Amino acid sequence: MNYMELVKKSVSNAWNYKFLWLFGFFVSVSDGFGGFQWSKDKIDVGDWADRCDFGWFSIDPAILILLAMAAFAVWILFWFMSVLCEGSLIHGISRKELNLPVAFADCWSFGLGKFFRLFGIILLATLVVLFAIFSLLVFIVPSYFASVALGVILTILAIPILIVIILVAVCVEGWAIRFAVLNDERWLDAIGKGWHLFQHNIGKTLAVAFSSFLAQLVMWLILIIAMLILAIPFILVGVASLWLGLIPGIGLGLLVVILSSAFFGTFASSVWTLGFMQMTGLAGPLAAEVADTTPPAAE
């Protein structure tokens, strides 16, 4: 497998087929959302009201609670959209790779049809990672009460274990959702086949994951440098008028980040999808459709 060619073709797919960017945006953004972390002092009811009064600005604690609930609801919506868009994106990329006709409505409809299969796969992978984190915390946190040094040592030992668990879960999930989408496997069967493919192709799977990660890291670094250069005129304008430089600068920055996230989400899905197709070949309905559209060989 030529991994450099895989990256080049995925960049081409992400750039040329911009109608897939909407799906790529939700896949990329939802993967980047973090959880809510609250320390004990942040939820201390005794000084809650004081923390909401900043002198020049104060807000009702009930409003903060409503905003937090609204943010959580938005996160759930994005997560559901990411599941739907994952199937749509894989479907669109695979058909483009095989020169089959594809349209936005077709991708959307296909993603809806595979939603519950992908929901089961992604939810199970998420629960595995959360269970691993919880188990390690239950094991490590009490050790800090016995000895800080022991707690630090156990934490250092636990981090590589957690990284391995997350990496395996991500890789198996990546193959499983493609078995479900491209080979029309049921979600439990897809997980089993995803594990089997990973187990027998660990090197290739890690190479695909590393290629995707490294390429995105380089592209993000280039984007950050470009945005810093782009920000210079707005900073100069902001010296004369803060709001005149700040508002358009933030607006343009958000637009660049949204478009870049859509591009990177499409790129990453393309890397995994093309890698899967090269490793497994074609099967299921997609293989039958390709066979139907292939002209018969001349006698």
Contacts of 90 (CB under 8 A, 6+ apart): 177, 178, 181, 182, 269, 273
Across the range 73-102, mean pLDDT stands at: 85
Residue 12 pLDDT greater than 50, yes or no: yes
Say whether pLDDT at 179 is over 90. yes
CB atoms within 10 A of CB 284: 13
> Is residue 36 very low, low, confident or very high in pLDDT (cuts 50, 70, 90)?
very low
**Residue 298 pLDDT:** 44
Using CB atoms within 10 Å of the CB of residue 277, give its burial: 0 to 12 exposed, 13 to 18 middle, 19+ buried.
Answer: middle
Q: What pLDDT is recorded for position 31? A: 61
Q: Where are the domains of the chain?
A: 3-287
Residue bearing the bigger pLDDT, 61 or 163: 163
Residue 82 to residue 172: CA distance in whole angstroms: 18
For residues 163-183, average pLDDT: 92
Structure confidence at residue 193 as a pLDDT band (50, 70, 90): very high
Percent with pLDDT over 70 in the chain: 81
User: What secondary structure letter does DSSP report for 41?
Assistant: G
Q: How confident is the model at residue 145 (pLDDT cuts 50, 70, 90)?
A: confident
Cβ neighbours for 182, distance < 8 A, ≥ 6 positions apart: 90, 94, 273, 276, 277, 282, 283, 284, 286
Helix, strand, coil % in the chain, rounded to nearest 5: 85, 0, 15
Closest to 172 (Cα-Cα) out of 219, 208, 225: 208
CB-based contacts of 61, cutoff 8 Å, min separation 6: 48, 49, 52
Q: Please, what is the average pLDDT of the chain?
A: 79
Residue environment code for 55-81, b if the CB has 16+ CB neighbours within 10 A, otherwise e: eeeeeeeeeeeeeeeeeeeeeeebbeb
The H-assigned helical ranges of 183-295 are 187-200, 202-240, 242-280, 284-293
Predicted confidence (pLDDT) at residue 32 exceeds the cutoff of 50:
no
Residue 137 has pLDDT above 80, yes or no: yes
Mean pLDDT of 209-234: 87
Residue 58 — very low, low, confident or very high, per pLDDT cuts 50/70/90? low
